[in-house]
Amino acid sequence: MTNRGYIIDLGLMDYKKAWDLQHQLWSKRVEEALPDLLLFLEHPHVITLGRRGNRSHLLVSPEVLEEMEIPVYHVERGGDVTYHGPGQMVIYPILDLKNYGYHLIRYISQLEEVILCVLKDFGIVGRRDPLNRGVWVDEEKIASVGVAIKRWVSFHGFSLNFETDLKYFELINPCGLEGKKMITMAKILGIEILREQLVERIIFHFKEIFERDWKEKILEEVLNPDSLSYSGVNFEISTKFQAPNTK
């Protein structure tokens, strides 16, 4: 497999469908039928529990969640409980970590570094918490990291709240942390955060840390091997960025 990588924007996708897709793409990456992949998407309202997930951190009954049409999935990523929904950017890197030094903790730190750099572009100062992975702004959490590694190929990834409706986090103890609050970029800055601008900055910093010849693809091209040899356009990322004006 050459030094390539594919970027795929999946838009709004049902969680179960995206979870199944990750498994499919992970398998192809393990077999070296595909290069490294970077998936961008948002999910309809959903709650997921990671490997350490404890249902005691769900603060409402299953009946309430069913009435709200919010499914719950127990998945193989690290971490506890989290919420995904519209206005939250979810990134699933499917990477062969043998090409990046085999180091799980370093990989998580690199994902956090991407988030910190993106926030800085928008004029937001984020920080790490050595006890609780992810990215924080003061005492509120803005991004969660939860990954799975099998046969040294990653899946799952991180989520960044840009215009998320925070009331849905009241259904859970986010990441299993009692009394901790979530925050969004829009709430901090008091402005609308444009999705396409956010995607551009994530890609720019991801490319700096995970060096590949990244190209934009659509999912159908990636799933059709006959298209892989000739399709794909260079994903041009500007090195110049002006943070939006805040109120």
- Which residues are catalytically annotated? 175
Which residue from 45, 46, 26 is spatially nearest to 36, judged by alpha carbons?
Answer: 26
Q: Which tokens belong to 73?
A: 């999935």
Long-range Cβ contact pairs of 189-197 (< 8 A, separation 24 or more): 189/122, 189/123, 189/124, 189/244, 189/246, 189/247, 190/246, 190/247, 191/244, 191/245, 191/246, 191/247, 192/163, 193/122, 193/162, 193/163, 193/244, 195/89, 195/162, 197/244
Q: List Cβ neighbours of 15 (8 Å cut-off, separation of 6 or more).
A: 43, 44, 46, 48, 71, 73, 84
Nearest-Å Rg of the Cα atoms of the chain is 18
Which residue from 44, 50, 39, 43 is spatially nearest to 73, judged by alpha carbons?
Answer: 50
The 10 Å Cβ neighbour count of residue 20 is 11
Q: Which tokens belong to 223?
A: 């799933």
What DSSP assignment string belongs to 183-208? --HHHHHTSPPPHHHHHHHHHHHHHH
